[in-house]
Amino acid sequence: MTTTTMAEQIKALREKTGAGITDCKRALTESGGDFEVAVAQLRKKGLASAAKKSDRATKEGAVAAYLSPDGKRGAIIELNCETDFVAKTEEFQAAAESLAKQCAEGSIKTVEDADPAVKELVAKLGENMGLKRFERFELAGSGRLGAYIHSAGGKKGSMIELACESDAVAKHEAVQGLLKELGMQVVAFGAKWTNRADVPEAEVAKETEIFSAAVREEGKPEAAVPKIVEGKLNKLFFQAYCLSEQVSMRDNKTPLKTIIGEAAKAAGGSIEIKRFARYTLGGE
């Protein structure tokens, strides 16, 4: 083996495995110059190293999303690592996007399914990592999916599903614009539910009790309490946490229902928010 050949193989081995120069050179020497054997040796070493790192805290990372070209399948994920420095690397960001794509396409069905790919990334970048969670959307009828990742590095993101009257409506440019706006709305205003019908009864009961106690503390007449509480629930609870009842982040006063209605008129058919997911790094 010539010096030039060894240098070229070391370079190729580093690019393929992410291992250091010394480790690559040792693997090539021990394998007698067999490139694939050297790759296998480095992978085994890297996976063993990953196992040792598995108990280290992962509080950094990225939120990533992927939509299929036809807009009918999508996924949003949270991939964690130890430091913000690694989270911002091209390798980590590319891995997050790749995992989001695999989740959307259905090849990853549980977080455990991502372990082989994650362990290889651990071996390459030298930090403990893990796919914390993901959600996958797939259209069942006419509609369109949208995804929004806030700022470089991907610390927050959302995915939206719209149900549309027809495929023609779903493909209209007004729907694409609406999806972008709704994605930003979800990230900025932190909706928890799509419609008030989705809110668990226990949550409504809890808020009702809190508002009732506060109104009585203010000395309001008992006969007036139910009406006042109803108004507070509508404005301070449902409007705050139900996406379909929020006001737009554009001006903090235009109802989203109005904006959705405008998009529906432009697209020539009805549009409805079916569901959404909102991810924040480190959230539940």
Main-chain dihedrals φ then ψ at residue 67, nearest 5 degrees = -125, 135
Strand bridging mode 130-138 / 73-81: antiparallel
What ranges make up the beta strands (E) of the chain?
60-67, 73-81, 130-138, 143-150, 156-164, 271-280
Matching CATH number, 55-138, of 2.40.10.10, 3.90.76.10, 3.30.479.20, 3.30.460.80: 3.30.479.20
Domain boundaries, the chain: 3-53, 55-138, 200-241
What does pTM read for this prediction? 0.76
The Cα–Cα gap between 208 and 83 comes to: 42
Bridge partners for 160 per DSSP: 146, 276
- The CATH code that applies to domain 200-241 is 1.10.286
Q: What is the CATH number of domain 3-53?
A: 1.10.8.10
Name the token pair of 120: 């290889």
238: DSSP letter: I
Please tell me the distance from the alpha carbon of residue 61 to that of residue 37, in angstroms, as a whole number.
32
Per-residue pLDDT of the chain (284 residues; tens, 9 = 90+): 445 578 788 878 776 666 667 777 888 888 888 888 887 776 666 644 444 444 555 589 999 999 999 889 999 999 998 888 888 899 999 999 999 999 999 999 999 999 888 888 888 888 888 899 999 999 999 999 999 998 756 899 999 999 999 999 999 999 999 999 999 999 999 899 999 999 999 999 999 999 999 888 888 888 888 899 999 999 999 999 999 999 999 898 999 999 999 999 999 999 999 999 999 998 76
